[in-house]
Amino acid sequence: MLILAPMEGLLDSVLRDILTRAGGIDRCVSEFIRVTNTVLPARVFERIVPELHNGGRTFAGVPVRPQLLGSDPACLADNAAVLAGLGPFGVDLNFGCPAKVVNRHGGGAALLEDPELLHRILCAVRAAVPADMAVSAKMRLGLHDDTRAEECALALQAGGAGELVVHARTKADGYRPPAYWARIADIRAVVQIPVIANGEIWNVEDALRCRDLSGSSDLMLGRGMVSDPGLALAIAEGSSSADPKMAWPSLLPLIADFWHLVRTRLDKKKQAGRLKQWLNFLRQRYPEAEVAYLALRTTSDPLVIEAWLADKLPDRSRATMQITARG
C-alpha cells in the first residue's frame, strides 16, 4: 500500500486531486484539521476535506482519511464524532507535526513526551466513532530524541489505533536527512498493528531501502511524490529506471489541470504562488520545470501564467482559460 502524506500548506485537496490522477496511490491522509476547545461545524471539515462531498474520495477515486490535530481527548472525541457523521474513510490523528506554533500549544510531536495522554486521546476517539470505522495515527520517533518511540507506539496501539504511520525522524530532526528507517523495524517488533514507513523516500531506490531497513512493505510518500508525480506508480511497478516515470509532456496536462483548480478554488492573491510552489518541487526532478519556474518566478499575474500554459499546451490551456473565465 502506498499512501499520500498529509503536508500542511502543500498537499491540500487541490494537489491531492492532481497527484492521485497520476496513479499508484492507494489512500490519502488530509492536512491536519486543528481542534482546540470547540466542536467544529461540518462545513469546516468539508472545507479542508472537500472530498467528503464525493463519497470521501478524490476525483480519481482514491479514499481520503481526514486528520485531526489537538491535545484534549474529550474535544478530539467530540469532533471525531461529527467527522464520522460525514462518512470519511476513517479518522487519523496527528502526533508528528514539528511546527513550533503547534508544539508550543501541546499538539503534534509535543505529545510524544506524554505516552499516557496519547493513550487517553486514542481511547476517547476510538469510543466516539463507529466500531467499524478505522482510527489511525501518525507519529515521529520523538520530540527531542527517540528514546520513547516504542513506548508511544504501544500507547497508541493500546488506545485503539488500528494502524500507525511512523515518520522516521524526531521533531528535533525536522526534515533533515537521513530518516532512521531501522527504528521503524524496532517499533514493528513491539506492536501488533500495521506500521507504515514514512520519511525521505524520493525515488524507487529509497523505497526499496526503506522497505528493507524498516521491514514495512507499506509506505507513505510526501515531498518525493510532490517532486515526482509518477513516483508511486514507479514504486508499485518496481521500475528500475532513474528517470521519472511520468515524462514532462505527460505531466504538462496535469499542471494545466492543477492551475485550473487553483484558479477556481483559491483566492486570486494565492494562485500564482501555489503554482510556483509546485514548480519549485518539480524542478528537483524535471529540467523543464526549472525553466518554467525561472520564467514565472517573478510574476503574480494569472494572465501571464495562462499565456505560458497556452504556449506549452495550446489546445488544453485555451479550454482551461475559457472554463476559468466562465467560472
CATH number at residue 282: 1.20.225
CA atoms within 13 A on the CB side of 235: 30
In a domain, 147, yes or no: yes
In a domain, 45, yes or no: yes
Which residue has better confidence, 94 or 241? Answer: 94
φ and ψ at 17, to 5 degrees?
A: -55, -50
Burial zone of 232 (CB within 10 Å; 0-12 exposed, 13-18 middle, 19+ buried): buried
pLDDT in tens, 227-243: 999 999 999 998 878 88
Identify whether residues 144 and 266 lie together within a single domain: no
Boundary residue ending a domain (206, 237, 268): 237
Q: Does the pLDDT of residue 65 top 60, yes or no?
A: yes
Which residue in the list 97, 123, 152, 210 is annotated as catalytic? 97
Q: Tell me the residue range of the domain where 254 lies.
A: 248-326
Identify whether residues 155 and 300 lie together within a single domain: no
Which residue has better confidence, 136 or 327? Answer: 136
Identify whether residues 233 and 287 lie together within a single domain: no
Which amino acid appears at position 154 of this protein?
L
In a domain, 16, yes or no: yes
Identify whether residues 281 and 232 lie together within a single domain: no
Question: What is the pTM assigned to this prediction?
Answer: 0.92
Identify whether residues 270 and 171 lie together within a single domain: no
In a domain, 273, yes or no: yes
Identify whether residues 9 and 139 lie together within a single domain: yes
In a domain, 94, yes or no: yes
In angstroms, rounded to a whole number, what is the distance separating the alpha carbons of residues 215 and 308? 45
Element (H, E) at 280: helix 268-282
Note the pLDDT of residue 107. Answer: 74
Catalytic status, residue 123: no
Angle at 175 between CA 284 and CA 200, to 5 degrees: 60
Q: Are 156 and 95 in contact (CB under 8 A)?
A: yes
Q: Does the pLDDT of residue 226 top 90, yes or no?
A: yes
% of the chain beyond a pLDDT of 70: 93
Identify whether residues 287 and 203 lie together within a single domain: no
In angstroms, rounded to a whole number, what is the distance separating the alpha carbons of residues 250 and 244? 11
The mean predicted confidence, pLDDT, of the chain is 92
pLDDT band at 317 (very low <50, low <70, confident <90, very high): very low
Of residues 92, 134, 93, 88, the one with CA closest to residue 112: 93
Question: Which residues fall within 8 angstroms of residue 252, CB to CB, at 6 or more apart?
Answer: 312, 313, 316
Rounded to the nearest 10°, the torsion over CA 212, 218, 222, 224 is 50
Note the pLDDT of residue 101. Answer: 57
Provide the total of helices (H) and of strands (E) in the chain, helices listed first: 15, 8
Identify whether residues 221 and 281 lie together within a single domain: no
Identify whether residues 152 and 195 lie together within a single domain: yes
pLDDT in tens, 1-58: 999 999 988 999 999 999 999 999 999 999 999 998 899 999 999 999 999 999 999 9
In a domain, 242, yes or no: no
pLDDT in tens, 118-130: 999 999 999 999 9
Identify whether residues 171 and 24 lie together within a single domain: yes
Note the pLDDT of residue 102. Answer: 66
Identify whether residues 203 and 252 lie together within a single domain: no
In angstroms, rounded to a whole number, what is the distance separating the alpha carbons of residues 246 and 243? 9
Characterize 165-175 residue by residue with b for buried, 16 or more Cβ atoms within 10 angstroms of its Cβ, and e for exposed.
bbbbbbbebee
Boundary residue ending a domain (205, 237, 269): 237
Average pLDDT for residues 94-104, to the nearest whole number? 71
Domains held by the chain: number: 2
Angle between helices 268-282 and 287-296 (to 10 degrees): 150
Identify whether residues 63 and 138 lie together within a single domain: yes
Residue 65 is part of a domain; what is its CATH number?
3.20.20.70
Boundary residue ending a domain (183, 203, 237): 237
Q: Are 193 and 164 in contact (CB under 8 A)?
A: yes
% of the chain beyond a pLDDT of 90: 84
In a domain, 243, yes or no: no
In a domain, 67, yes or no: yes
In angstroms, rounded to a whole number, what is the distance separating the alpha carbons of residues 79 and 178? 35
